[in-house]
Amino acid sequence: MQIDIDFLVIGSGIAGLSYALQAANHGKVALVTKKEITESATNYAQGGIASVFSEEDTFDSHTEDTMVAGAGICHEDVVKLVVEEGPDVIKTLIEWGVQFTTRGDSYDLTREGGHSKRRIFHADDLTGREIERALVTSVFEHPNIEVFENHTAIDLITESKLLKKNVEPNRCFGAYVLDNEKNIVKTFPAKITLLASGGAGKVYLYTCNPDVASGDGVAMAYRAGALISNMEFMQFHPTTLYHPQAKSFLISESVRGEGAILRRRDGTPFMEKYHKLKDLAPRDIVARAIDNEMKTYGDDCVYLDITHKDPDYVKSRFPNIYRTCLKFGLDMTREPLPVVPAAHYLCGGVASDLNGETDIRCLYAIGEVAFTGLHGANRLASNSLLEAAVFAGRAYRHSVEQLKNSSFDSPEIPDWDAGTATDSDEMVVVSQNWDEVRRFMWNYVGIVRSNKRLQRALNRIELIKKEIAEYYWNFIITSDLIELRNIATVAELIILCALQRKESRGLHYNIDYPERDDADWKRDTHIRKTF
């Protein structure tokens, strides 16, 4: 079954939705998403979207904050571009119906860790949900967009694959996609393919990401031969709720932005000994500080305390966090919240240029799946939604020009060939491998690493990948098997990039190389599949 379109968009967060809404004015768009359209990391984003808006703020200040957080390897040209396009992006989101919180006649700008000014647009503490609501509404109203929910992308279709030989430059012609409900593979030939599939938090045992965040876009692009960069920089959010039923519910950075203090079990504040900004230090520093405090004192968690603030203000500023914590028997206005770090945001990904295009022609990557150079070794809080929206616009403009000015004659694209694959009655193998990957990634490739831990992880992933490859081609594919294959691929990429970097910088901390080495390592790491 083939579905011919102009634009194939894989992913339904702010990146994919923003791009689809703009591209749909120039052609037919298919938007593919693994579950319901609203199930994305965007929908769970609490804090907000950063942009210079106040007269007290400047582009230079936002640029500097981003560069400092990124630990020396942000691409300055990208940072300036994103920061300076930020205000226009905010205006576009408002035009699409996003309702940011106001105070009187002006927007209620808040502050988060690493920011020197109040520049965070938010919608209470449900910013992502409000953005998702507005964009999804607009997408369903657009006649040129067809949404395919419960569809899992399997692999990209490229010229090299079709011709069974290495083609330079390679070109993307769409993707094969599994219809999860009908269990059939559909072919989506497309002139332009956009990866907006999000991050890879599910590679780790503990994450505040949704279940869909299994690194699919990075894995597919890697298998297709695209350049992958800086995968060692996985950001661990310092404060997720520590509770057996909470499933790593995120306690927004903005809680600390409004004055919350991190304390040990005995009530002692500890961040002042780690950074001059104390509780508002960048995320990498706060996450390592919490990890160190837990290991030093043998505690399972630390505590986030905002009880010194007016209870009515806390309830009105963080209504969702307050209500959710109450469900677990925790009143944040009366008692500190138990918190731990969890995998949160992938700062590396599929390398893309200033227009969001990868080194495979007609293949674009934007949002968390992409490496643009903005985040460096550590993402500044609330820069992620900003980056996604900015590059959605840039990718849209560039791809539309490609559509106008390029020839799109493509080889005949065959339907998916399942060969002699049969139904599996041993899904326990998938669940076992899935669990094992996530556990050793947490233990060996987490907040603190070492050469021995990384080598152990590499040895394990090589064995598991062999098992997966055998299983993958012998049995009819399922969404679970696709995701397992992808998390194993992404895990390997994280490990290999981490082994490349012989220093500690930002989110990558190796006890065998505890110091930052600007002389040799003030640069990105890169990896590409060899055929």
The stretch 377-397 carries a mean pLDDT of 96
pLDDT at 168: 87
**pLDDT one-digit tens code per residue, 236-288:** 989 999 998 887 788 988 899 899 999 999 999 999 999 999 998 888 889 99
Question: Which of 48-62, 78-92, 123-137, 410-424 is least confident?
Answer: 410-424
Residue 384 is inside which H or E element, if any?
helix 384-405
Whether 299 is in a domain gets the answer yes
| Statement to judge: residues 268 and 328 lie in one domain | yes
Q: For residue 277, what is the DSSP state?
A: T
What share of the chain in percent tops pLDDT 90?
A: 77
The 3-state DSSP class for residue 367 equals: helix
Q: What would the two tokens of residue 6 be?
A: 């102009």
The stretch 470-492 carries a mean pLDDT of 88
Residue 187 is inside which H or E element, if any?
strand 184-195
C-alpha distances in Å from residue 486, one per residue of 291, 398, 434: 28, 29, 10
For 515, list phi and psi in degrees, rounded to 5: -105, 155
Whether 416 is in a domain gets the answer no
| Statement to judge: residues 76 and 20 lie in one domain | yes
Whether 411 is in a domain gets the answer no
| Statement to judge: residues 84 and 187 lie in one domain | yes
Q: Which residues on adjacent β-strands are paired with residue 147? A: 31
Whether 423 is in a domain gets the answer no
- List all residues 6 or more positions away from 275 whose beta carbon is below 8 Å from its beta carbon: 281, 282, 285, 286, 289
Query: In the sheet where 337-346 sits, what is the strand order?
Result: 234-241, 337-346, 302-305, 261-263
Q: Which of 171, 256, 263, 283 is catalytic?
A: 283
Stated pTM of the model: 0.91
Residue 254 is inside which H or E element, if any?
helix 253-257
pLDDT at 354: 98
Whether 422 is in a domain gets the answer no
C-alpha distances in Å from residue 410, one per residue of 162, 171, 172, 406, 529: 10, 9, 10, 12, 24
Averaged pLDDT of the chain: 93
CA distance 458 to 359: 27
Q: What would the two tokens of residue 234 be?
A: 């996985």
C-alpha distances in Å from residue 104, one per residue of 48, 108, 150: 19, 9, 42
The 3-state DSSP class for residue 355 equals: coil
pLDDT at 429: 78
Give the other-Cβ count within 10 Å of 168's Cβ: 8
pLDDT at residue 507 tops 70: yes
pLDDT band at 2 (very low <50, low <70, confident <90, very high): confident
| Statement to judge: residues 149 and 183 lie in one domain | yes
pLDDT at residue 420 tops 60: no
The stretch 448-456 carries a mean pLDDT of 96
pLDDT band at 528 (very low <50, low <70, confident <90, very high): very high
pLDDT at 249: 87
For 322, list phi and psi in degrees, rounded to 5: -60, -50
| Statement to judge: residues 368 and 477 lie in one domain | no
End-to-end alpha carbon distance in the chain? 29
Q: Which residues on adjacent β-strands are paired with residue 342? A: 237
Whether 413 is in a domain gets the answer no
| Statement to judge: residues 466 and 497 lie in one domain | yes
Which residue's entry shows tokens 């004192």? Answer: 297
Give the other-Cβ count within 10 Å of 459's Cβ: 12
CA distance 502 to 506: 13
The stretch 283-308 carries a mean pLDDT of 92
pLDDT at residue 325 tops 60: yes
Q: For residue 244, what is the DSSP state?
A: T
Cα within 13 Å of Cα(376), Cβ side: 28
Structural domain that includes position 62: 5-232+347-405
pLDDT at 336: 97
| Statement to judge: residues 10 and 118 lie in one domain | yes
Q: For residue 183, what is the DSSP state?
A: T
**Cβ–Cβ < 8 Å for 90, 134:** no
| Statement to judge: residues 335 and 457 lie in one domain | no
Count of domains observed in the chain: 3
**Cβ–Cβ < 8 Å for 173, 7:** no
CATH number at residue 434: 1.20.58.100
Last residue of some domain: 343, 364, 393?
Answer: 343
pLDDT at 393: 97
pLDDT at 421: 59
C-alpha distances in Å from residue 164, one per residue of 157, 170, 528: 12, 12, 18
The 3-state DSSP class for residue 169 equals: coil
The stretch 68-95 carries a mean pLDDT of 96
Residue 212 is inside which H or E element, if any?
none
Query: Who has greater pLDDT, 114 or 20?
Result: 20
- DSSP E strands in 459-527: the ranges are 526-527
Whether 531 is in a domain gets the answer no
The 3-state DSSP class for residue 363 equals: strand
Please, what's the largest Cα pairwise distance for the chain?
68
pLDDT band at 381 (very low <50, low <70, confident <90, very high): confident
For this structure, is 283 an active site residue?
yes
Last residue of some domain: 371, 405, 439?
Answer: 405
| Statement to judge: residues 196 and 301 lie in one domain | no
| Statement to judge: residues 352 and 446 lie in one domain | no
Name the pairing type of β-strands 145-148 and 120-121: unpaired
| Statement to judge: residues 37 and 149 lie in one domain | yes
CATH number at residue 258: 3.90.700.10
Last residue of some domain: 289, 309, 343?
Answer: 343
**Cβ–Cβ < 8 Å for 186, 177:** yes
pLDDT at 4: 77
The stretch 63-91 carries a mean pLDDT of 96
Q: Which residues on adjacent β-strands are paired with residue 229? A: 349, 526
pLDDT at 45: 83
**Cβ–Cβ < 8 Å for 271, 263:** no
pLDDT band at 455 (very low <50, low <70, confident <90, very high): very high
Q: For residue 419, what is the DSSP state?
A: T
Q: What would the two tokens of residue 394 be?
A: 């840039």
The 3-state DSSP class for residue 121 equals: strand
pLDDT at 409: 75
pLDDT at 460: 96
| DSSP string over 323-348 | HHHHHTT--TTTSPEEEEEEEEEES-
CA distance 209 to 202: 7
pLDDT at 422: 66
**Cβ–Cβ < 8 Å for 326, 245:** no
CA distance 337 to 345: 22
Which residue's entry shows tokens 């043998």? Answer: 298
| Statement to judge: residues 145 and 132 lie in one domain | yes
**Residue count of the chain:** 531
CA distance 336 to 122: 24
Q: Which residues on adjacent β-strands are paired with residue 153? A: 177
**pLDDT one-digit tens code per residue, 430-448:** 888 999 999 999 989 999 9
Which residue's entry shows tokens 């160190």? Answer: 292
Whether 414 is in a domain gets the answer no
